[in-house]
Amino acid sequence: MNRIGIIANPQKPKAKETLKKLVSYLNRKRKSIILDEASARLIKRSQLRVRDNRAYQRCDLIIALGGDGTLLRTVRMLKGREVPILGVNLGGLGFLTEVTLGELYGTLSNVLAGRYRLEERMGLEATLYRGKKRITSSLALNDCVITKGVLSRLIRLDAFIGKEYLTTYAADGLIISTSTGSTAHSLSAGGPIVHPGIPAIILTPICPHTLSNRPLIVSGEEEIRIRIASPHPDVALTLDGQEVIKLRERDVIQIRKAPFKVRLIVPRKKSYYQILRKKLKWGGMT
C-alpha cells in the first residue's frame, strides 16, 4: 500500500493533532499521501491537497478520521470503487469506525505490513423515477430514508417487494437499511440488529399509524419499490444522512443491492459482538 488518502472531520477536537501526526508517520514510511481540501487546510499542507475526488478512487488505502459520518462520506466519494477503508473513531458512538485513537498506529502498522482482516459490506442503490423518467440514482451504505418535514400530517407510502404489493405505510416515514445500517437510524426507530455479514434489506416504518406495521427483513437480492401515495408538501429521500432528494406525489423509489461491495478494514482481534457489547453497554460494559 503506497498511495494513501486521508479524509478527516475538521469539527472533531482531536482531528488537527491526529492528522498532523498521521501525515508525519506516513511520510517516514515513504508513502504517497493525498488529502481532501478541508483536511489539507486544517494542517496547512496545501501541497497534499487534491481538488478532484476521483484521486481517492486510485488509492490503495483510505483512512477516515472522525466518526461514522466521515466514513459514510468516504464511501460516497469512492462512487463504487472497492478501495479498502480504515475507519478511526475520534469520539462518539461509531459502529463503522471501529479503531480507537489509541489503536491507530498499531493497527496501521499491521495494515501496511499486510496483516489485517477485510470485511465486505453490501450497499444500496436508490433510483428515483418520476412517471417514466429516471431522475437520479445514488448509493448508500447504511440506509435510504423517506421522511416528511415539519408538518404533522402522515405520509402514505405504497411498498412493493419485487412485483408483489406488500402494504401501504401510513407513517412519519420509512427506513430501508442494510444490515450494516441496522445499528443506525433503523435501530432508533425500533428496527432489529442484523449481523453485517448477512446480505439483507430491512424495512422499518417510523411511527406507523397501524401498530401491526412492524419492521421487516427481506433478502438482499430483493428489489424494493416505494411509491409516494399521498400529496404532501415536504417529503424527501435521504441517503446515509449525506444527500437529500425532494420527492413528489406518485414518485417511485427503486432500491436494490448496490453493484459493488464496501471494503472495511477491521481490527483482527475485535469481533462484531464485542463491539455491540461495548457500544450498547450490554452486560454492564462501559
Q: What domains sit in the chain, N to C, each tagged with a CATH number?
A: 3-116+268-284 (3.40.50.10330), 125-259 (2.60.200.30)
Q: Which amino acid is at 196?
A: P
Catalytic residues: 68
Residue 61: what are its φ and ψ, rounded to 5°? -155, 145
Q: Are 21 and 102 in contact (CB under 8 A)?
A: no
Owner of C-alpha cell 405504497: 158
Q: Describe the crossing of helices 15-28 and 104-112 by its angle, rounded to 10 degrees.
A: 30
pLDDT means per 10 residues, the chain with 286 residues, are 94 94 96 94 90 88 95 91 94 82 93 92 97 95 92 90 96 97 95 96 95 95 97 92 95 96 87 85 68
Q: What local confidence, expressed as pLDDT, does residue 82 receive?
A: 92
Cell 478494514 belongs to which residue?
265
Q: What is the pLDDT of residue 284?
A: 65
HEC string of 79-148 equals: CCCCCCEEEEECCCCCCCCCEEHHHHHHHHHHHHCCCCEEEEEEEEEEEEEECCEEEEEEEECCEEEEEE
